[in-house]
A and B are shown apart, each in its own frame.
Chain A
Amino acid sequence: MKEFLIKFQRYPLTWIVLVACLIALTISALSPYFLTVNNFTNLMKQVSIVAILAAGQSIVIISGGIDLSVGSVLALTAVTIGWLVQNGVSPEIATACGVAVGTFAGFINGIVIAKGKIPPFIATLGMLGIARGVALVITGGVSYQVLTPLFLFIGNGKLLGFPIPIYFVIVAYAATHFMLSRSRFGRHVYAIGGDEHVSRLEGINVDGRKIAIYALSGFFSAVAAVVMVGRLASTPPNVAFGIELQAIAAVIIGGISFAGGRGIVLTSFVGALIMAMITNGLNILGVSSFWQQVLIGIVIIAAVWVDNIKSARRR
């Protein structure tokens, strides 16, 4: 029993879920509109895109890297879908092509990082510009309408009373959690994040794993793009501008170590939820959106502070 308690106490989800509950209780104490089914549904829709991106970002950060290009890759995927649909391609095929393009962009990130030995920050910063630029080139800067049933369903449909994007989130997190905790690939992600040099010496195919990791992040960006197209019913090339920072913030707030090698993906969802709750809650309370940014900034710093305390205690 005592052992179970210690395990429970040390489990990465425990504390961050507690924090999330505390925030939810505080806001609902201040406003009766917060904890309503309607608002909850809204919140889930709002959080879905950042949450999906954060799942991919978690893998990258646990491996000791970072992916700044997720917002741009999302946009590139979205306009690929929009452009194809506009040109009479069926939405299903357009989606498949869009996801392939997004995954390919991530794959290129991986190649540049693993084979070109370019630091992830620089490589993905480059891709941030490239993917957004290509998105603008494809469209000439205009936004396409995507009013096909498939995307209307993804954006506005419900299944068992829950909006569709939630299912995307659930599948994304279940798959990632499973992969990280049960597969060889996942074990290698942690090993590389812990010590890349040792991983290499112990025969892990570090380059191959890195390429897979960034391709996966591209894939998650593409999946987020599908949800985004559903919600907007259009594909503006400037969509999701700056969203990469929210995704990274969600991962960090959740408690995954920025230094790599530690943490579990599920906390990133809670991190995304905390940010969404702060935004949503302060909106309900009528607090200026300027203050929301200040608060989220403070939360990010606080989260890293706590992480530092945790790692100091390990020593």
Chain B
Amino acid sequence: MPTEKPLVKMESISKHFGGIQALTDVSVELFAGEVVGILGHNGAGKSTLIKILAGAEQADQGRVFIRGEEAEIQNPNDARRYGIETIYQELALCGNLDAPSNLFMGRETEKLGLLNKAFMRSETDTILRKLGIKIKSLDVEVESLSGGQRQSIAIGRAVYFEAKILIMDEPTAALGMEETKLVIDLIQELKKGGIGIFWISHDIHDIYAFTDRIAILKGGRNVVTCATQACSQDEIVSMIISGNPAPSLLVDQDAAAA
């Protein structure tokens, strides 16, 4: 374990929706420059956990620390102030607006109290070029773009606003193979730049290939948190299904305790 302070530390997070306990006492850490995969079945609480960090939901109990300082994240704007950007699986863009409008949504730049459209357009152009993203036109509704192009705009948004902590909720779920590769290349670049990334995915191959550590949830509880390479893909799958730590890990932990 690195001795530096974690970029993000979520501690004993609990959350219920009505009678349903979505999360119970879940903790997870993220360090700068690492990718942490969050795994679990549907309903394991992955998305809820991440939405709490993104400000889309509020925890009932538990605390969040950013760089060692306790953070109050009540809404998405609070999260953004801490440098947290989220890329959602459902392609969180307004289909009826063009790329610049989406990239700057909620953070539009103004000049003399009016939208500075020319600036936003040229900045969008610059950032998409920089990331090697090609879209047919900046002026069309993003609804007419492909899933990969739309996801690229979402990533462009995170990069443009200098995310320090990136949450990717199944970022490649809606994408084809080539587009997935593009996204993964982008992530590798961001990681080198010292960004911490939470990656939620069902794709065990992606997780195994591109994450440094994994946190497995089941029924809203931590199952295990370990270095990705500490267990095999099969073990990861069986932990997701059974909700019990793999025996090999238990031996390691016993050894560490001893």
Contact = CB atoms under 8 A, between A and B. Distances in A.
A198 B114 contact: no
B151 interface: no
Contacts of B105: 187, 191, 198-199, 202-204
Contacts of A201: 54, 56, 76, 86, 88, 92
A191 B114 contact: no
B75 interface: yes
A187 B77 contact: no
Nearest to B54: A201
Contacts of B114: 182-183
Given A184-B110, A199-B106, A314-B143, A190 B76 contact: no
Interface residues on B, range: 20 to 34
Contacts of B54: 201
Nearest to B81: A203
Contact of B80 (A190, A203, A261): A203
Nearest to A191: B94
Contact of B97 (A184, A194, A203, A314): A194
B56 to A, nearest CB: 6
B16 to A, nearest CB: 20
Contacts, number: 66
Contacts of B136: none
A182 B101 CA distance: 12
B19 to A, nearest CB: 20
Contacts of A191: 94, 97, 101, 105
Given A184-B115, A187-B101, A201-B86, A261 B96 contact: yes
Contact of A203 (B75, B101, B113, B141): B75
Contacts of A190: 94, 96-97, 101
Contact of B94 (A184, A186, A195, A314): A195
A199 B110 CA distance: 18
A187, A190, A193, A200 — most chain B CB neighbours (10 Å): A187
Contact of B106 (A194, A202, A314): A202
A262 interface: yes
Interface string B64-105: 000000000001110010000010100011111100010001
A204 B95 contact: no
B108 interface: yes
Nearest to B142: A194
A169 to B, nearest CB: 23
B94 A261 contact: yes
A212 to B, nearest CB: 16
B126 interface: no
A193, A198, A199 — most chain B CB neighbours (10 Å): A198
7 contacts: A190-B94, A190-B101, A195-B94, A199-B94, A200-B56, A203-B80, A314-B144
Given A194-B94, A195-B96, A314-B141, 4 more contacts: A187-B97, A187-B115, A191-B94, A203-B80
Interface of B: 54, 56, 75-77, 80, 86, 88, 92-97, 101, 105-108, 110, 113-115, 141, 143-144
Interface of A: 182-184, 186-187, 190-191, 193-195, 198-204, 261-262, 314
